Amino acid sequence: MANIVEEFEHAREYQNDVWVADYTEQTRFEPESAKKGVCVSESEFDDIKSFHMQNPKHVVIYGVNFEEHPDYFPDKTKNCECLFKPRDVVDGGFLLLCELKYCS
């Protein structure tokens, strides 16, 4: 598998719980300057429902918000918002591709 940090210049490192929210639908009628898309945070969002990835063992995880890498999918494919994988593979590791359909 490709090195996430080398492949995606905006990859971030997380060591706590992570929340992913998609504001696209919620802000679609806002002025262009106020529109938002996918946001990733180590704090819970208080204005939108979100996906919560729990990390009780504080495993170091790399996260990629694909909206920050539009050139990675030149055909404008939008099937997935984020990718998460552990920095160090232990016990097989994991790869999480996160696609939100307006959490409720």
Examine residue 17 and state whether it is found in any structural domain, yes or no: yes
Examine residue 60 and state whether it is found in any structural domain, yes or no: yes
> How many domains are contained in the chain?
1
Examine residue 93 and state whether it is found in any structural domain, yes or no: yes
State which residues form the domain around 80.
4-98
Integer angstrom CA distances of residue 5 from 43, 67, 84, 95, 102: 22, 16, 12, 14, 28
Examine residue 87 and state whether it is found in any structural domain, yes or no: yes
Examine residue 103 and state whether it is found in any structural domain, yes or no: no
Q: Residue 2: its pLDDT value, please? A: 66
Examine residue 47 and state whether it is found in any structural domain, yes or no: yes
Examine residue 58 and state whether it is found in any structural domain, yes or no: yes
User: pLDDT tens digits, residue range 66-98?
Assistant: 988 877 777 766 667 899 999 998 778 899 999
